[in-house]
Amino acid sequence: MIQINQDEKEITYQYRGDGLRHSAQVRKLIESQGKTNLYCWTGTDIVAEQTDGEKIKTYLRGINLIAREIDGILLYIE
């Protein structure tokens, strides 16, 4: 899927050559610009994500997702 319109929003996805998502842009249909999320991968797991100019979110994994860190605050996943 490359693009979808849902709930008055347009979401456009870009993928890497190996099929994993590189970025997602979300914009309201009444606006000309949206926000873009960029994803960093290690193998098949997302390890970091950044949305236009916001703090980088990093993800801590073991067998599964354990926690994510945003601006130095570690949030554990239940």
Residue 41 to residue 1: CA distance in whole angstroms: 19
Residue 34: the pLDDT is 86
CA dihedral in degrees (37, 22, 47, 65; nearest 10)?
90
By residue range, what is the domain housing residue 67? 3-76
Q: Domain count of the chain?
A: 1
Model pLDDT for residues 10-52, shown as the tens digit of each residue: 999 999 988 898 999 999 888 878 899 999 998 888 899 998 8
pLDDT band at 59 (very low <50, low <70, confident <90, very high): very high
Residues in the chain: 78
* pTM of the predicted model as reported, rounded to 2 decimal places: 0.70
**43-53-10 Cα angle (round to 5):** 75
